[in-house]
Amino acid sequence: MTTFVLIPGACHGGWWFEPLARRLREHGHQAYSVTLTGLGDRAHLMTASVNLDTHIQDVISLLENEQIEDAVLVGHSYAGMVVTGAADRAADRIDALVYVDAFVPGDGDSAWYLTNDAQRRWYIDGASADGLGIAPMPFFDPRSTPHPLASAVQRLRLVDPMRKFRRRDYLYAAEFPESPFASTYERLRDDPDWHAHALKSGHNVMKDALEELLRILLETVPTS
């Protein structure tokens, strides 16, 4: 049995990953769908202090409270920042990392720095009047809520950016127009330390390629 910790991207809550979590449980694994602070049913916790460190701590607290020691961290989009930070700070509780059309930051990177101009315009044009959040795009699920702006601009600080894990996978949504993740896929696809996959999918991988995503996650399960 493997424990999957599923972390959604900007503006989304744990509900986004719940269909996948149910399928993983059907295969005999544990799966936690995380809702980060300030989002979804935790939107009432949105304050100016909610940032990337807050979201990293959300995941670390889950790992500690549930006594998870073999997690496969799975992050979509923005949550690649969270996966990387949690893996750096709680490496002894993590077995493998999966980035689903997501940022793969190094030390000192932010989502703002890593994304493209189209996404930066969304960050700014979508900023709420109080400056705390980034409004969901019109085509997002109606359950989506504003995303904490501070988490998108805060730089990630890593203690051991070269740390090794048993397995690292990168899933690239090849049909995402103007993708900010194309350069990341190009960088990782020939790297022997990574398993890189190009999916016939838009950025909403849960909608466009659920079965393929499930298949790849099951491949990350240790065979012995």
> How do the pLDDT tens digits run along the chain, 224 residues long?
999 999 999 999 999 999 999 999 999 999 999 999 999 999 999 999 999 999 999 999 999 999 999 999 999 999 999 999 999 999 999 999 999 999 999 999 999 999 999 999 999 998 888 889 999 999 999 999 999 999 999 999 999 987 899 999 999 999 999 999 999 999 999 999 999 999 999 999 999 999 999 999 999 999 86
Question: Could you read off the pLDDT of 106-139 as tens digits, one per residue?
Answer: 999 999 999 999 999 999 998 888 889 999 999 9
Q: In terms of C-beta density within 10 A (0-12 exposed, 13-18 middle, 19 or more buried), how is residue 138 classed?
A: exposed
Amino acid at 65: N
> 3-state DSSP call for residue 119?
helix
Backbone angles phi, psi at 84, to 5 degrees: -65, -45
Answer yes or no: 77 catalytic: yes
What percentage of residues in the chain have a pLDDT greater than 70?
100
Q: Which of 33, 77, 179, 201 is catalytic?
A: 77
Cβ atoms 59, 73 nearer than 8 A: yes
b/e per residue, 93-116, with b = 16+ CB within 10 A? bbbbbbbbbbbbbeeebbbeebbe
Domain boundaries, the chain: 3-219
Predicted local distance difference test score (pLDDT) of residue 75: 98
Distance CA 224, CA 35 (A): 31
Question: Is the whole-model pTM more than 0.95?
Answer: yes
CATH 3.40.50.460 for domain 3-219: no
Amino acid at 63: L
